[in-house]
Amino acid sequence: MSLNGVKQLARQLMTHRHHRPHALLTPSPFALPSSVSTINARLLFTRSITPILRHAYQYHPPPLRSPLTTASTMTTTTSADHPLNLDAIFKQKKALRSKVRRDLKSMDPTLRSKEDDAIQNLALEAPWFKSCQKLCAYISCSALREVDTSKLLAQILNYSSKDDYLQMGKTLYVPRVEDKNSHMRMLKISSMDDLIANSMNILEPAPMDSEGKEREDVMLADHPVDLLLLPGLAFDKSGRRLGRGGGYYDAFLTRYQGLVKERKWKQPFLVALSYSVQIMDEGVVPVTPNDVFVDALVSPSGVIPISAAAKARCQ
């Protein structure tokens, strides 16, 4: 493709990205068959065009966005004088990941344990957690130094004692990685015994239950989830989230938010759990147009509401 062709394609994509986010370019050499749902269309198209955009964005930056108002709003540092340079942003992300990994590795085990307890207790007592009926939550991995979720999951799955009566009726979906192409599903479980270790020794749900039936996929459920509890490497106070580089959560969230919008459901509340060393100043975490923002952070010192929805819930 010539440089002029790259420029024209970039202009078209920016127009559709900002004004018709689930539409495909027409006509287009990347047009998808009608059998592909609109939920997956944007994700598939973006992946196919990414190598071209790494160059094209340097010539035709996307227009400035308004300030963050919801979790799904995605901001960039682009302006007429400072065009979006994806290669530079990826380098910034890599550097920040390295820094945060070092900070997590050097974290005192006693402090880590105290922060784990504080974060989980804050989440358990939060009104938005107590009131949710269906939620997605990650299964923490100590090797990755993620905020522990074992107590949260136990409270959701084991509600036999009187102290856990508020957790009764909750439906829980947890992640299962399907391949190395950012494909992750959220499957329903009813017990920690439903989990098995994958090739990386990370617990995830088996695709079939003990009766040989396929587990319910949240993307195929009849009702939406109210809440998603998310992991990450770094966060800032404007809602930016830095993952580990695989793109699994951003890809899943994009698909699920598209499903919710298509079915005219209420968007779920996105909450990230974070150690103190993972929280950066506002605007520090670099982002690309595909990154999904969170509504709130739960840190050892308290819940940090970010979006308008979070501020309303945390009043």
**Residue 117 amino acid letter:** D
Report the greatest alpha carbon distance in the chain. 68
Six token digits for residue 272: 């990230």
The predicted structure's pLDDT at residue 99: 97
Q: How far apart are CA 281 and CA 285, in angstroms?
A: 8
Contacts of residue 302, defined as CB under 8 A and 6 or more positions apart, other chains included, come to 122
The pTM assigned to this predicted structure is 0.73
More confident residue, 75 or 289: 289
Contacts of residue 65, defined as CB under 8 A and 6 or more positions apart, other chains included, come to 18, 73, 74, 75, 76
Report the percent of the chain where pLDDT is more than 90. 62
Secondary structure in 3-state letters for the chain: CCHHHHHHHHHHHHHHHHHCCCCCCCCCCCCCCCCCCHHHHHHHHHHHHHHHHHHHCCCCCCCCCCCCCCCCCCCCCCCCCCCCCHHHHHHHHHHHHHHHHHHHHCCCHHHHHHHHHHHHHHHHHCHHHHHCCEEEECCCCHHHCCCCCHHHHHHHHCCCCHHHHHHCCCEEEEEEECCCCCCEEEEEECCHHHEEECCCCCEEECCECCCCCECCEHHHCCCCCCEEEECCCEEECCCCEECCCCCHHHHHHHHHHHHHHHHCCCCCEEEEECCHHHEECCCCCCCCCCCCCCCEEEECCEEEECCHHHHHHCC
For residues 225-237, average pLDDT: 97
Q: Taking all residues of the chain, what is their mean pLDDT, rounded to a whole number?
A: 79
Six token digits for residue 97: 């990941």
The predicted structure's pLDDT at residue 199: 78
Count other C-beta atoms under 10 Å from residue 315's C-beta: 7
Least confident stretch, 25-39, 236-250, 296-310: 25-39
Is the omega angle on the peptide bond into residue 61 within 30 degrees of 0, that is, cis?
no
Residues 267-307 pLDDT 10s? 999 999 999 999 999 989 999 988 999 999 999 999 999 99
Binned at pLDDT 50, 70 and 90, residue 7 comes out as: very low
